Amino acid sequence: MKYTEDHEWLRIEGDLVVVGITEHAAEALGDVVFVELPEPGTQVARGDEVCVIESVKAASDILAPVDGEIVAVNEALGDTPGLVNEDPLGKAWFFKMKLADLTVLDGFMDEAAYKDLIG
């Protein structure tokens, strides 16, 4: 598992990357009540706003961690946005991306580095 400075986790699954948010991020957001997902097939560039998460407190964006194509989204979050709080590292994955080159993931933090970041 790799981590971004935007509190997203990235998990390699075959030739795809699965993206979600960390427990730390879910805790900070508070109870999530709405998730807007991108369309599968969308080409995105690193830093693009690809999802909107609304909690009881505020709206936040999920940014594309790398360049690539969104190939699948987790439709369950539309009906059950609370999964983001219940199981942020598991059932609450947001989308899967296809990358031209998986080695770009080497530049992201590992778990130890991420834990240092959040203190």
* Residues engaged in binding another protein (CB under 8 A): 30-31, 33-34, 36, 52, 54, 56-59, 78, 81, 85
Q: State how far the Cα of 101 lies from the Cα of 61, in Å rounded to an integer.
A: 25
Q: State how far the Cα of 65 lies from the Cα of 83, in Å rounded to an integer.
A: 21
- Minimum distance, C-beta of residue 97 to another protein, in the bound complex (Å): 22
Sign of CA dihedral 102, 12, 25, 76: positive
Of the pair 65, 81, the CB lying nearest another protein is at 81
Q: State how far the Cα of 96 lies from the Cα of 71, in Å rounded to an integer.
A: 6
Of the pair 53, 97, the CB lying nearest another protein is at 53
Of the pair 63, 109, the CB lying nearest another protein is at 63
- Minimum distance, C-beta of residue 18 to another protein, in the bound complex (Å): 23
